[in-house]
Amino acid sequence: MRVGFEFVKTIRHDTYPAIDPSKADFGGQVVLITGASRGIGQATAISFAKAGASGLVLFARSDMSTTKAACEAAATRPGQSLKVLTLSVDTSSTSQVSAALVTAKETFGRLDVLVNNAGYSEPHALLADSDPEEWWHTWDVNMRGTYEVTRGCLPLLVESKGSQTIITVTSVAAHGVVATQASSYGMSKLAQVRLAELLMNEYGDKGILAYAVHPGAIVTAMSAGVPENMKPFFVDTLEVAADAIVWLAKERREWLAGRYFSCQWDVEELESRKQEIVDGDKLKVRMVI
């Protein structure tokens, strides 16, 4: 099965020097993160604070006071001034996303990086046993939510002419690693991988860089619902995902844009295969015939 686990030799389960956010400089930049109240979203916000971001726009439906305090505590660089804007948003709602982005633009006047992290997985069940409301709610969060926020942010990302980066947190489940059950989750994550490629086709000439990112196998509130036989595989830390996302955004990586990236891959080994990836048009979903 081609799921990319061993695309590079060294697999990382925790953060390491090459992705240390203290080596990045996001001074003057504004980063928007969805699903920021806990888990990967919260850890990513903290990593961007460590990386010197000047502004964080955090979307979630639940309380974000802990995330905000942690980000402010992490912003320890000399001369660094971090402003954190937290907004209660249902990302699948056009009106709520639009209103929140008006506030974000009024507050910061720009946007440089978007991290589509908000996600949901229905309870694992065979298709005939699944709950239709739960099944479609997964699509509402994972795909409509990603669409709504990306659609709303694109004009500001293009206008700001900064990093112009869109990172969507997908999953190795997009590649069929979970062969049965959780069908809505796997299918919606596959759609997110294709969305990154579509964004490059439509907005690459305007400077947009889009990536689909597998964060790793991490114990979170969402992953707690996986079957017992899968739980031993969830050994990665939040930091390996958060810090790898910062590494991905800290410079323009056209050679990787529109493609799938795993936070478990050693980034120095991945960079050594840059030409191979470009020449072979690798890390994209294709039919094999």
Residue type, 18: A
Taking a C-beta distance cutoff of 8 angstroms, is the pair 154, 98 a contact? no
Annotate the chain with DSSP letters as a single string.
Answer: ----TTSSSPBPSS--GGG-GGG---TT-EEEEESTTSHHHHHHHHHHHHTT-SEEEEEESS--HHHHHHHHHH--STT---EEEEEE--TT-HHHHHHHHHHHHHHHS---EEEE-----PPP--GGGS-HHHHHHHHIIIIIHHHHHHHHHHHHHHHHTS--EEEEE--GGGGTSS-SS-HHHHHHHHHHHHHHHHHHHHHGGGT-EEEEEE--SB--TTGGGS-TTTGGG--B-HHHHHHHHHHHHSS--GGGTTSEEETTB-HHHHHTTHHHHHHTT-SS-----
Q: Is 189 a catalytic residue?
A: yes
Catalytic residue among 50, 68, 147, 185: 185
Which candidate in 50, 68, 189, 250 is catalytic?
189
Q: Which residues are catalytic?
A: 185, 189
